[in-house]
Amino acid sequence: MTEQPHFDVIVIGGGPAGVAAAVQADAKRLSVLLIDEQERAGGQVYRWNGVGIDAGPGAEMRARLAASGVRTAFSHRCWHVQPDRTVRCTGPDGNMTFTADALILATGASERVTPVPGWTTPGVVGLAAATILLKSEGVLPGRNVVVAGCGPLLLFVAAKIIAGGGQVAAIVDRNGPSDWLSCLPAAMTNPKLGMEGAGWALSLLKRGTPIHFNSRIVAVNGDDEVQAVSVAAVGENASSSAHSIACDALCYGDGLMPATEMTRLLHADHDFDAALGGWHVRADAHRRTSLDRIYACGDGAGVMGAAAAPVQGRIAALAAAWDLGKMDEARFEAETQRLSRYGQRVSRFGAAMTGLTVAGVRVPLTGSEMICRCESVSHDELERAVAAGAVTVNAVKAATRCGMGPCGGRYCVPSVAKIIAAHEQVDVSRIAPGTARPPLRPVPVGTLMGDFAYEDIPFREPAPL
């Protein structure tokens, strides 16, 4: 039913970290399989847009990968991984099982969106999701857009909307000018990206785009489409100080969260660090997780951005090569030390950018908003469940169905943690994320099954009468 090809190394995730890991492992003469759910390498940051000339860092990455001996399985979704490094995924040929001596996880990040009343109204788009719309689809989220939340994507999305011929009604930033100024030194460590950011800021200034610093969205208004957003100052009572801004779309996000579902399914050790996006898998200086010959790199192991990711990926591959006995010690030490020094330098920029999203990690919830979109569970219902004694993420999930839908709790669990933390009067970092369950992504029963006959099903004797 399933073939089980074996590799020295399997890399899961074809973004900058995963591709760098795969190419580096290949250069060390290891047999490598790279698995990704997209059609091409690039991840979210260098997403292949499928049209026109492939250019820029994404194209360079894809060319390096193509020139290597790495075997690739694109359009494959991993639905299960095991600590013994057995990986199962579904692709165009159905269910596939692969095994490896080393497993490098480069699963990236997902977007943090803080629920507010009305955030499920059509026309509300995540900030990171908006970058995909703008970059790979060339679509504007609206004609007159409010861009809100925190972090560098505010500038990027606003500038791209204007460049695409749209109007930015306002930028609503949880941070203030001093927060931005404090990351200037780090920004200058990457002059190219720093200048790019300054260029975006200038283009907004020139257009006179209103910027509301130290402010937050408290509600989205409109029934079938966004008509306006209510904005209030951070820390002030929403009902007394809110004012309304008319718009037809809202791009809204509070930075990125490491994707931990795979490492949680593996029961690897995790830590909470707001400066890295919240919960992330623990990895040492050589990207080793707490599990034998399983490594983590890129934003999935703590959000540090696209410059740090390939360095981490290469270190992970070197560690795998060393752990598999394919490198001598002197070489391993020299190469990883050189990479680590380089990594520290290029990580400062990404770390500063993630730092701008820390403001979004502990933002209090408003009170009456929908928290779980999949199962329609409101804040009020969750508070009632917590007050009735469900004080773990798993217990709240059982009591309310929050997190039981197709997204697997990726989006609602941080809010559930905030509600529990508020009730228990502890910091959110004390509230463990719930148990991860397979499949890692929803998968059609028929795809998993393939062809089979009733007679092939391995029945046991019936239970005692």
Partner 1 sequence: MTAHFDLIVIGGGIMGCASAIRAAQHGMRVAMIERASIGGGASGVNAGTLSLQIKRVKLMPYALAGHRIWEEAGEQVGFAKTGGLTLAFTDVEAEQLRERMTAKREAGAPIHFLSQAEVREKAPNLCERVKLASWCAEDGYANSSLTGTYYRAALREAGVTIIEGADAPLLARAKGGFQARIADEEVHGTRILLACGAGLEPAMAMFGVHIPVRVRVNSVSVTERAPRLVDPVIGHVTGLLTLKQKGNGTVLIGGGWQGRIDERTGASEVDPETIIPNLQLAQFVLPALARLRVVRCWTGFEVNVADFYPLAGPLPGVEGAYVLGCVRGGYTIGPYIGRLMGDLIAGREPEMPLFDPARLLAAAVQ
Residue numbers at the binding site for partner 1 (CB under 8 A): 1, 80, 83, 88, 95, 97, 267, 385, 388-392, 394-395, 397-399, 401, 404-406, 408, 435, 437-439, 442-446, 448-449, 452, 454, 456-465
Minimum CB distance to partner 1 smaller for 199 or for 406:
406
What's the half-sphere exposure (Cβ side, CA atoms, 13 Å) at 245? Answer: 26
What are the tokens at 175?
Answer: 């941070």
Q: Tell me the C-alpha distance between 190 and 195, whole Å.
A: 8
CB 97 → partner 1: shortest distance, Å? Answer: 8
| Neighbour tally for 259: CB within 10 Å | 24
What are the tokens at 51?
Answer: 């049209």
Minimum CB distance to partner 1 smaller for 52 or for 464:
464
CB 452 → partner 1: shortest distance, Å? Answer: 5
Minimum CB distance to partner 1 smaller for 5 or for 438:
438
CB 447 → partner 1: shortest distance, Å? Answer: 8
Minimum CB distance to partner 1 smaller for 331 or for 437:
437
Minimum CB distance to partner 1 smaller for 66 or for 449:
449
Minimum CB distance to partner 1 smaller for 37 or for 196:
37
Phi/psi at 129 (5° precision):
-60, -35
Phi/psi at 165 (5° precision):
95, 10
Q: Tell me the C-alpha distance between 112 and 126, whole Å.
A: 8
Residue type, 265: L
Burial class for 345, CB neighbours closer than 10 Å (0-12, 13-18, 19+): middle
Task: Answer whether 332's CB lies under 8 Å from 343's CB.
Answer: no
Phi/psi at 109 (5° precision):
-135, 160
Minimum CB distance to partner 1 smaller for 144 or for 290:
290
What are the tokens at 97?
Answer: 């099982």
CB 442 → partner 1: shortest distance, Å? Answer: 4
CB 84 → partner 1: shortest distance, Å? Answer: 11
**DSSP-assigned letters across all residues of 86-131:** EEEEEETTEEEEEEEEEEEE---EEE-----TTTTSTTEEEHHHHH
What are the tokens at 53?
Answer: 């000339």
Minimum CB distance to partner 1 smaller for 45 or for 402:
402
Minimum CB distance to partner 1 smaller for 95 or for 214:
95
Q: Which of 336, 294, 301 is nearest to 315 (CA)?
A: 336
Minimum CB distance to partner 1 smaller for 192 or for 460:
460
Task: Answer whether 228's CB lies under 8 Å from 222's CB.
Answer: yes
CB 340 → partner 1: shortest distance, Å? Answer: 29
CB 437 → partner 1: shortest distance, Å? Answer: 5
Q: Tell me the C-alpha distance between 150 and 148, whole Å.
A: 7
Helix axes 393-400, 413-424, angle to 10 degrees: 110
Residue 81's region, left for phi above 0, alpha for psi from -120 to 50, else beta, is beta
What are the tokens at 438?
Answer: 């397979």
